[in-house]
Structure formats: C-alpha cells, structure tokens
Amino acid sequence: MSSRLRDRTSCQPKLHNHHYQVTTKTAVAMPNHFTETLTCPLTELATNLSDSELRETAYEILVGACRSSGVKPLTFISHSDKNSGRAPALTSTASLQRSLSSTAASNVKKALGLKSSGKRQVSGESDSERVKKAVTIGEMLRVQMRVSEQIDSRVRRALLRVAAAQLGKRIESIVLPVEMLQQLKPSDFPNQWEYEAWQRRNLKILEAGLLLHPLLPLDKTDTAAQQLRQIIRGALEKPLETGKNNKSMQALQSIALSLACRTFDGSVSETSHWADGFPLNLRIYQMLLEACFDVNDETSVIEEVDEVLELVKRTWVVLGMNQMLHDLCFFWILFNRYVVTGQVESDLLFAANNLLMEVEKDAKAMTDPDYSKIISSTLGTILGWAEKRLLAYHNYFHSDNTETMECVVSMAVLSAKIMVEDISHKYHRTRNDIDLARERVDNYIRSSLRVAFVQIMEKLKSSKRSSKNQQNQFPFLSILAQGVSTLAFSEKAIFSPLLKRWHPLAAGVAVATLHSCYGNELKQFVSGIGDLTPDILQVLRAADKLEKDLVQIAVENSVDSEDGGKSIIREMPPYEAESVVSNLVKSWITTRLDRLKEWVDRNLQQEVWDPQTNKENFAPSAVEVLRIVDEALEAFFLLPISMHAVLLPDLTTGIDRCILHYISKAKSGCGSQSTFVPSMPVLTRCSTRSKFVGVFKRKEKFQIAQGRKSQVGTTNSNGSLGISQLCCRINTLQHFRIELDVLAKRASYHVRNSESAHMDNIADGMGKAFELSTTACVEGIKQLCEITAYKIVFHDLSHVLWDGLYVGEVSSSRIEPFLQELEQYLEVISLTVHYRVRTRVITEVMKASFDGLLLVLLAGGPPRAFHLQDYETIADDFKSLCDLFWSNGDGLPADLIQKFSTTVSAILPLFHTDTDSLIEQFQYMTLETYGGSAKSKLPLPPTTGQWNPTEPNTLLRVLCYRSDETAAKFLKKTYNLPKKL
C-alpha cells in the first residue's frame, strides 16, 4: 500500500509555482461548499491565545533558534538595505537566508508521495537575480507565517539585543518572552495600543507555559508561581514597566527563570522549560508546521518543505519536541488540511497515510503517557472521521475514487490498530488472537450494505407511492430482490477486490449481509399472509433466485479460504425454512392471541374485584382468562403439524404478554405508596404557649381533621379501592402465579410426546415459559401489599393517626384508637388474603404503621408539641403497636418485628434527650455533613424522609416539635422559623 500511494498521482488538478512568489498578502481561497471542520485533538489551552498570537510567538522562537544554532551573532538587516537592493552578508542566519535555487527536488515530498512541481531552473540566472534571492527562504517563512515586515524587523532587533545581553547563552537557556519584554520598549512600536497588545501576548504566553501548562506540575505551595500569577494579573490590567533595571522586570525575570529551570530531581537545569509543556508546545509547533503549505494555495505543500522543516526542527530544543511528536503533529496537519480544504487534494490524504505508518512505528517504542494521550486523541478524531464514511461507504465512494477509499480504510484500520494494540497494551494482551483489521472492515461492509439496502427499499417505496397502480402490493419484494442482486454484483466488482486486502471474505460478508436484510423483510411479509396466492408465489420465486445469486457469490469468494466458506454460508439460513405451513400456524397463533387479549380486556372491564364471588377470594375474570389459555394450548397441540416444539415458544410468549397485560391492568388505578402519604407541612417552631390544656374541643378537632384530610391523596371515589378489593387483587395475582406453573408443566409434557426433532431441548426450556408473567405476579403482589398497607394507615385510619394521634396533650390523644381500628383491618386481611401472602401483607401494614408513627412525631405539623416527659407515653404507645402485631406469639415473628422497628427504636430516645444536647448533636451532625460551608451559618438540611437519629433533618424536626423556650430561641435565631403556618 505504501509504495502504491507514494507513486500515485492525484486525479485532481493542482497548481505548483516554479518560483516562490514573495507577497505580504494571502490569496483568498476559493469557497468550497464541501468543507468540513474537525475538532482539534490537542487539549484546549487554559488561556485565550489566538492563532495569530501563537503564530507570532512561534516565529520569535524560530528566528531565535536559528540564530542560536549558528556560530556568529545575528545581523539586523534594515529596510533601507533591503529596498536599496544591496546584498546583505550571510551571517549565522544563513539557514534562513539560503537561496531557494539551491534546493533540489523535495525529499520530504518524495517520501510522503506528494507530487513535485519540478526543479527550479538554476542556469541562466543573472547575478542580480541571485542576489535578490539570497534571503528568499527567510522572506518566504515570514510570508508563510503571515508575519509583517515591521514585526519581523522588531523581532530581529529584539533578538540582537537579547544576544548582546545574554552573550554566549543559547536559545534553550533563556526565557524568551521575558527577554523580549526587557529589550523592546513602546518606542519600538507604531503606537501604544500595539505595544500593550504585544506585552499582553508575551505575558499570556508566560502564564500558559509556566503556570497553566508547565512541563513539571506545580506545587500548590510554590510561592514563585503565586508571585508570577500576581505579576501577570496586575500587568494584564495595567501595562508593565519594562527595562533592564526596572524592579518589576527584574522580579519577573527572576521568578520566571526559577520556574522555567525546575527539574524533576530538584536541581536547576540549564534548559529553560517555558514553552515545552503540553499542549502549549504542540499548538506553537502546529503554527510552525502550517508554514509548509503554500500561503497562496492552501492545498499545496511548498517545494521548500525540506528547508522549512530543517529550520522548524531547530525549535525542538525550546519546545521539547522530538521526532515522534513531530511525526504525529505533521500527520495531523496534513490530514486536517485535506479535510478543511474540501477533500479535493487527495495527495494530502495519501501523504497523511504514509506518515501514519511512521507514527505506528513511533507508537510501538513510546511509553510516555503524555504522548499516549495525544496520539489517542488524534487518532480517535481521525478514526471517527474515517468511520463516518466507511460505515456508509456506498454514499461516499464509487468506481472513480476507489483509491481514495483504499487510503481511508488504511488510515482507519491503522489508527484503530495503534490505539488498541500499541497504546493499550493490556487490551492488546486480551485480543492477541483477533485480527483487528479484519474485524473493523467486516463492520464497515455490514454497516454500509445495510444502509444501501435501506436506501434501495426507500427508493422503491417512494416510486411505488408515485405510481398510479397501487392495488397490488406484493410484487414490491420481487422488485426489491432484483435491486439487491444488482447491488451484490456491483459490490463484488468494485469494492470487494479493494477490501479483500484486509478481509479475505469481503464479498462473502457483503452478500451474507444482504441475505440477512432481505430475509428480514421476507419474514415480515410471510408472517402477514393467510393463504398462498399467485402473488405470494411470485415473491417466493424472486427470493429464491436472489438467494441463489448471493450464495454463488459467497461460494466463489470462499474458494481459497481456510474453511471453504462454511462460516459465511452459516450466516445465510435458507429462505425456504419459513414454509407455508409454518406461516399459517403463526397466523393461527396470532389470531388466538388477539382473541385472548380481547377476552382479557372484556373481562377486566366487567371485573369488580369482589372477594365474595368465590370461596378462594380471587377475581372471576382470572378463571375465564386461564380457561381460554388452557383451551389455546390444547388446540395448538391438536394441529396436524410436526413442528409443535418449534412454534410453541411463539404461542407461550404471546400468552405471556396477554397475561402480563392482565396483571398490569389489575395493578392500575390502585395508586402507589406515595399516593396515600400526606404531604409534609412547612417547618415551624413550636410555641411553648400554644400547648392546649386537656383534649381539643370537638369543633377545633373537626377543623383540624378537615384540613388534614385535604392533604391525603385518593385515586378513585367510587369505593373500588376498598381493602377487600385490594385483597382480591392480591389473591388473583397469587392464583395466576400458581396456575402458570401448572400450564408450563402441561406444555412441557405435550412437547415431550410430540415428534419434533429437538423436543428434549425445547421441553427442558419450558421451565422458563411465562417467565415475564410469573415475575410480574411477584412484583405486583409486592406493590399491592405496600399499597394496601399505606392505604389502611394513611388513608382509612388518617382520622385517628394523622388527625388525632398526639394532637394537643400527648396524654389525652394516645395511640389506642388507632390500634383498635387497625386491628379490625388486620382481621379482614387474615380472613381474605391467601395464606401464602398473608404474612407479607401484614408485614407491610406493620412497616406502614411504623412510618406513620414517625411521620406524626417528626412531621405532624403545628398541632403537635412534645415535652421531655412525653417520652414515656410515646415509648409505651410504640410498645403497644409492636404488641398488636406480635399478638402474644400468634402474629408476626418477634425477629421480624424487631427488624422493621429498628428505626423507630433508634429515634425515640431523641424525645427523651434534653434540648441543649439535641442542639449540640444537630450542630455537630450539620457540620459533619456540610463541612466548612456550615461554619458561618448552619444551612437548613433538606427533608429526605429517610429518618435517622444521626441525620440533621431528623434532629431538626425533633427540635421543631420540642415545647420549650431553649428550642424555640435556637430555631428563631438560627432559621427564623415562624410559630404558625
């Protein structure tokens, strides 16, 4: 592939300049409506540095690096010398001033497979022409990087001053932005605004390189970093006074140098690390590499790319770059330029692919985590772009651009391979036997052909809708079969030979995918017919011909494969397997299931859920539904077919869904646990003077009860949610649960006595029949038990619990009335509910009762207030509540009662704890929960309803209902809670 891509010439036209034209204005590129923007894979900088600012910094580093690598000092060339036409003497910047005519054909272009515009003509040039070209490379780089002559002159002037001040020091040992700030003054700029912008740019570069993206992570306690941050912040607000002897400048230089020369071992390095931290160095280097593209033709790599890269690489010592990072950056630049310029210059894509092969070699040897992160991000972006096209390659490629497609596949496969095998070594070890390239190309083939198949179908449907004759809908699959056959032969001729490089069975995978797509449509068609007709036979014949074409292609493609194509053939189950008899039986099953669903709906509409209708206390509709199910199973096994076992899962699955529908309806309209729980009143503080003497007056209690009842949710006003009706629903689901097991065993017995070839396996699997319904019964019983319990406690008994318990004086409004009425409900449950679920219902009632008691104590609203001496009464009431469910050993087990009463038992002692201790606990737990944010002012803890003696909101609520001055003052001072709603 590499040699083919390197030797290839693009079919797209491309202009090359035989002589570089030095200009100061970039030509306007032709607008392209197919351009695309890719997200830069490099991490975003933590400061706002524009491309022009990065480019100017890159230019300063480049000129400084070229100066530092020479043996003589940099010589400043004035505009007058340039304009006079005199030839400047070549100095240490000879690398920048080298004549373009001395360059032969580009080795870089040759290596990357880029076309060359031809060698420059050297002979016949006059001396004056060669003199004029003496600084062509330097001028070219300036123009390529969009640097004006004025800025170039200022940069060179500043570097001369730096060289004089830092005699003998190389570019990598100085902090260039600081030196530039010292050497240039406002008088070096056309105006104050440009000077200040230049100064801000250098400060932002310092901030990015030393503070935001340093090579070595900063210690949070590093005072130098804090000082530099303060200096930069101040300078960005008010221009910094520069100059060698300026104190601010000296401080900046000292601090910046100390940060830039840090090392991992704590020693002072001779190399200054102010621009070699990720990703700042990569962004700056990106600006340098952009100079390799013709400023007048954004799709063209300049002929002088060898000289440019030679100069650019001299910045490595400053930017901390190496060959591996260079390869990766240049690879991204080439690829991104191909994309953003409208993908018209395929040479750029081929060059990027060739360079990706070098990146692969680099990745194998690299263990640096920063490099791994960057290469993963870069390759991930490229892989995403490539797979967008390859997963639907029929929409992007055709017979005229298969070479481009081959390159895209190569890049996608190679990118994935590097990411999976060379970067993620652990993942590689687990996949060492898997051919990654084959796997990915397999996915591209299947995905693209599915997309193409859908497009053919949509086109045929659209054509059919516009056709006048729409009466006959069956031939659609016949026409579709012809279209799929044409697509298969086209795939075999155009794309399969190309993709075979990565997948030896490319054509086989393609036809297997088409076989599956058409087979799915054929199945839907067959499942909707009742009797065979000429039209149906026409479709079946077309499907048969298509299948033979597809199988023939698969067989021809698999001649040289290891398994002879058996794996592909196995992916193509014959269409004939779906026989007419099978379709008729499926139709019969559908009809039966539709009838069953109608019966379910009809019986449910008439159901009143009266447990007295039969002695088992479940709904009569359940009897009817189960009777119809039993009849359907009996009739199914009486059908004169030999495929009962094969088709039985279709029937049982449908029955399962119908029963599931019944169960869903049986639960609907009953509400939920939250339906019956009253809404919590707003927190108030208890007034010690609002304590009522004696029992409430009847009128007052009635008014409070009326207000409380308005908070209780209800779902139906016709009485259908009575406890007896809920118990009937519970019994009904329990009855279904029992009978479904019986039906599954009966079906298994019939299967074992049938003539099916795989009857044993299917019979063994019948244990999972009606699994959804069985699970739904269990879940439904659980939900209905909870609903029943909360309805009893919070709805039916709200007048004695929520509206009566502990309202006014605790001693005169105790729990006994609630217990008396609750006991009556427990008797109803004991007499009505099936014995297998009776304990669960009573347990849920107990849990709801405990929740109700806690809700009264912690969220009972203004009518309730508690003294310390009320603890004994409350504890005694709680014991009475537990005793009711224990019932002298005839009720729930003691360990079960203890398990669900743990929360109440843990919270009750809070009502016996003195107020000062409660306040102290509350403050401590609030600080523990909210940390430092609660030191200045205690936040109001949210109400979660998950009561706990160590939870701040629980403690706060005990304080809110504590009837004493200390609690009232604390709540008033801390939260300014009102006394009344």
Mean pLDDT is highest, among 13-27, 63-77, 152-166, 507-521, for 507-521
Closest CA to 903 of 850, 845, 979, 833: 850
Selected residue with higher pLDDT from 934 and 285:
285
Using 50, 70 and 90 to split pLDDT, how confident is the model at 14?
very low
Asked whether the predicted pLDDT for residue 5 surpasses 80, the reply is no
Structure-block tokens of residue 649: 């899962």
Cβ atoms < 10 Å from Cβ of 597: 15
User: How far is residue 322's CA from residue 319's CA, in Å, rounded to a whole number?
Assistant: 9
| 665: CB partners within 8 A, 6+ apart | 600, 601, 604
Report residue 510 CA to chain centroid gap.
Answer: 31
Using 50, 70 and 90 to split pLDDT, how confident is the model at 154?
very high
279 prior amide bond cis, ω within 30: yes
DSSP 911: G
DSSP 694: S
Asked whether the predicted pLDDT for residue 981 surpasses 50, the reply is yes
Tell me the average pLDDT across 629-639: 85
pLDDT of 269 reads 78
Asked whether the predicted pLDDT for residue 643 surpasses 90, the reply is no
Average pLDDT, the chain: 81
Structure-block tokens of residue 526: 């067959």
Asked whether the predicted pLDDT for residue 517 surpasses 90, the reply is yes
Using 50, 70 and 90 to split pLDDT, how confident is the model at 744?
confident
Tell me the average pLDDT across 27-46: 61
pLDDT tens digits along 536-550? 767 877 888 899 999
Closest CA to 730 of 784, 806, 807, 800: 784
pLDDT tens digits along 62-90? 999 987 655 344 444 433 344 444 333 33
pTM, two decimal places = 0.56
Using 50, 70 and 90 to split pLDDT, how confident is the model at 371?
confident
Domain boundaries, the chain: 36-70+134-321, 323-465+474-559, 576-686+721-912, 915-980
Closest CA to 730 of 791, 681, 677: 791
Relative orientation angle of helices 51-68 and 136-144, to the nearest 10 degrees: 160
Any idea what the Cα angle at residue 683 is, between residues 679 and 689, rounded to 5°? 120
SS (H, E, C) 734-784: HHHHHHHHHHHHHHHHHHHCCCCCCHHHHHHHHHHCCHHHHHHHHHHHHHH
Contact 656, 744 (CB under 8 A): no
pLDDT of 754 reads 66
Asked whether the predicted pLDDT for residue 469 surpasses 70, the reply is no
* β-pair partners for 293: 301
User: How far is residue 773's CA from residue 653's CA, in Å, rounded to a whole number?
Assistant: 10
User: How far is residue 270's CA from residue 861's CA, in Å, rounded to a whole number?
Assistant: 74
pLDDT of 25 reads 34
Tell me the average pLDDT across 56-62: 95
Asked whether the predicted pLDDT for residue 941 surpasses 60, the reply is yes
Contact 145, 23 (CB under 8 A): no
pLDDT of 707 reads 39
pLDDT of 671 reads 84
Dihedral class, residue 976 (left if φ above 0, else alpha if ψ from -120 to 50, else beta): left
Per this entry, what is the length of the chain?
A: 981
Cβ atoms < 10 Å from Cβ of 430: 9
- Lowest-pLDDT range, 180-184, 558-562, 672-676, 798-802? 558-562
Asked whether the predicted pLDDT for residue 958 surpasses 90, the reply is yes
User: How far is residue 2's CA from residue 168's CA, in Å, rounded to a whole number?
Assistant: 46
pLDDT of 700 reads 42
User: How far is residue 839's CA from residue 734's CA, in Å, rounded to a whole number?
Assistant: 13
Dihedral angle over CA of 345, 347, 349, 351, nearest 10:
-150
Contact 357, 2 (CB under 8 A): yes
User: How far is residue 293's CA from residue 144's CA, in Å, rounded to a whole number?
Assistant: 8
pLDDT of 425 reads 55
- 301 backbone dihedrals φ, ψ, rounded to 5°: -85, 130
Closest CA to 915 of 978, 872, 962: 962
Residue carrying structure tokens 């199973």: 633
